[in-house]
Structure 1
Amino acid sequence: MTRFDTISALRQHLHSLPSSRSIGLVPTMGALHEGHMTLIQSAKAAGDLVVASIFVNPVQFNNPDDLARYPRTLDDDCRLLEAAGCDVVFAPSVTEMYPEPPTMRLNFGELETVMEGAFRPGHFNGVGIVVAKLFNIVQPHRAYFGQKDLQQVAVIRQLIRDLSFPVELVRSPTVRETDGLAMSSRNRNLTAEERVLAPALYEALTLAHDLLSEGQSTAQAKAAVTGFFSNNPNFRLEYVEIANADTLQPAGEVLAPGQTAICLAVHLGTVRLIDNVVF
């Protein structure tokens, strides 16, 4: 595995490779876990030369405290990536990625009016900028993202379509701990007591899923999730939404199989957690 921290060195290396070799990009912000490793494995299985980026992107944080708390474990991350068969790691500094603060603004339309877009203004502009830069730098054939960040996947899909990037978007299922908690880098910031409580997110999603399976309405399923967290003072529910799994717009009824997403965000202590299941 080869590691680069400058754009020019990475480009020079990639340009020296046979043009017939497909490239798979796995963008990350580090603090890696098994969910990230499944993305690496998916890229390896497709025969890609796997490039993983590790960059805590300040432009997508609208809360300075959240940016400061985000875990940074670069050396451990590199060991995990090498063991998983990653070929190239790109770990630039902030000044390497942004010699000057970016002034352009990306607007993802209705995706910015719901859920993460509504509660984290400017977040998807930052996501779009950094992913567009990575696409330009790496020029991958495929890019791998996890379903846990379902709205982010929708944003990247729109970015690829609107800017005509020749990149195939590959969405991988959410990887969970044995107790149901979706793997996330932010889980490292949970206290031991909070970690015991955190699987309640998946319990709430399962509750909504079961109610929809029984023929209950989307409004009834959302109300059940709201009540679930109202009875647990350790959590503060930010949103629960039942939406079209592709557009992330609210769905007033259950759609075709695989097209209905149940999404939520909660605060547990100082940690904000998101999760979803697709019905």
Structure 2
Amino acid sequence: MAAQQVEIVEVGPRDGLQNEQTPLSVAQKVELIERLAAVGARRIEAVSFVNPKRVPQMAGAEEVMAEVPRSDAVSYIGLVLNRRGLDRALEAGVDEVNVAIPATDGFSRRNQGCSVDEMSDAFDDIAAAAADAGMPISATVSTAFGCPFDGETDPARVVGVARRAAAAGAVEIALADTIGVGVPHQVADLVGRVREVAAGARLRCHFHNTRNTGYANAHTAVEHGVAVLDASVGGFGGCPFAPGAAGNIATEDLVFQLERTGLPTGIDVTETARTGMWLGSALGTPPTALLGRAGVFPAPHQE
């Protein structure tokens, strides 16, 4: 029997950059995306169609999409939060759109200026318009494991958001540990609960390593049948509206773990680590990923 393929959604160009102090130029963002496609990333969250006054690191989305290399092998994802964002994404020519729907009102009001119910209403509208345009849409349920403002997240809230998003047409539901507080037993529990109410949608997980649980959580998700994981090259990222929420799980470290477990990803781990180091130089911040420093094992044979 062939080993299970784990798909990595590379979120470095969006979630990886949005919380960094040094904004990259359009040319640097395009180079980052080119490098990621070259190492084997086949789904890349490339841009965010949010107000650049609120998240200046995400400025230039249309310019980036106009310059990235196009290939049937690579799908570019754009984050949108409202119909205006969707209209921009469609005009820019993304291949997929993703919408973040918080599971807690405290985070939703601070991050998106509305309640969870209001954001779910917005998703219904966005999903209907995306369907009319033939655009695949996914929903990321943020603060699924805990909220910096409301504390512990009730799993029933996550289930409710996921159920409604799936009913509205989401082809994929992502469970996001926005502030990095989840632990493996919560992952197993929540994946099982959401699978029951969103049977028509793929499940994806998005983990932060803020408290050093992200890789264990990713492994648990895969053990429970999740075949799509988000990761950010170099381990960069975090939410600018979630205090202390730094550190996406790093693509290179995750790929190393998966490949050593016998789970192929199609991503060149060595070149990804080099890209993480390149990005760290561009940002003036060392990557949190460890593989770029430690190297792969076994080490490549040297003639």
Per the normalisation by structure 2, the TM-score is 0.30
Q: Which has the higher contact order (CA 8 A, sep 6+)?
A: 2
Structure having the higher Rg: 1
TM-score with structure 1 setting the length: 0.32
